[in-house]
Structure 1
Amino acid sequence: MENVILTIHLILALLLIGVVLLQRSEGGGLGMGGGGGGNSVMTGRGAASALAKLTWVFAVCFIATSVTLTVLAAQKAGSGSVLDQAGIDAPAAPAPTDAPLGTDLLPPQPADAPLAPPPANSN
């Protein structure tokens, strides 16, 4: 089931890319506007709206298959870890220390250093 949805998803991705590339550029994004003469096949307004509708259909189907694949993967995963599946034991958590938070970030103090900073002179 998952392989069928994945295959449909990949086909939809390719179709979506193709339909987007076939559409006429209205803003001339890369300087290659859809100019040209009357001999162009995709010049009519009806063709542009048909391609736009087809793009929306492919996009909605692509999102639906994406959500479906995500739900299937979440159900398959369960609550286990990748390490549980590989049979590797997780490393033990380090023992908690009684030191207050943030003191391990400071440089070590010499043994004869005062505990409090000297008072500031108020001259």
Structure 2
Amino acid sequence: MENVVLIIHLLLALGLIAVVLMQRSEGGGLGMGGGGGGVMSGRAAATALGKVTWGLAIAFIITSLTLTILAAQDARGTSVVDRLGTPSAPTEDGNGAPALPAGDDLLPPAQGDNAPLAPRAD
């Protein structure tokens, strides 16, 4: 079910992009310099492409909400950390505070262990 809605959602997105790109540019930001029919004017021109754009946009929003609801139902009671298989919280000491790592883990390696190689003299 989720895959079907996702495919419809992607087709709607591509259709919405195509319809918006086919529309005539009215110049000026937000249609203010185009004369009429812009976003800021009193009444927008009801063209066929405008109606298709609104229909695709509404369908796109509906499929977005549907995908969100389906994903929320699938993830109910689980966490991303649970899926990874790692512990969600570090171990605690007796006072309820997180345990500190051992001091050896914080120090850099000793010079004898991983000493860098001397540059070659050519």
Structure 1 CA distance for aligned equivalents of residues 91 and 13 of structure 2: 44
State the shift of 1:70 in Å: 0.2
> What amino acid maps onto 1:3 in structure 2?
N
The residue that corresponds to 1:19 in the other structure is 19
Q: Which residue of 2 aligns with 1:7?
A: 7
What is the rounded CA distance, in whole Å, between the counterparts of 1:63 and 1:83 in structure 2?
A: 30
Question: Helix, strand or coil: the match of 1:26?
Answer: coil
Aligned to 1:42: none
* Amino acid across the alignment from 1:16: L
One of 78, 81, 90 as aligned partner of 1:80: 78
Q: 2:47 aligns with which of 46, 49, 52?
A: 49
TM-score, normalization by structure 2: 0.58
User: What 5-or-longer segments of structure 1 have no aligned partner?
Assistant: 35-47, 98-123
Q: What secondary structure is seen at the aligned counterpart in 2 of 1:19?
A: helix
Structure 2 counterpart of 1:15, one-letter code: G
- Mapping of 1:1-123 within 5 angstroms? 1-28=1-28, 49-92=47-90, 95=95
Taking the aligned partners of 1:27 and 1:93, their CA distance within structure 2 comes to 62
Q: CA deviation at 1:28?
A: 4.5
Of structures 1 and 2, the one with the larger relative CO (CA 8 A, separation 6+) is: 1
Q: 1:92 to 1:27 in 2, by over 3 A?
A: same
Greater radius of gyration (CA): 1
What TM-score results when the alignment is normalised by the length of structure 1?
0.58
- The runs of 5 or more residues in structure 2 that have no matched partner are 35-45, 98-122
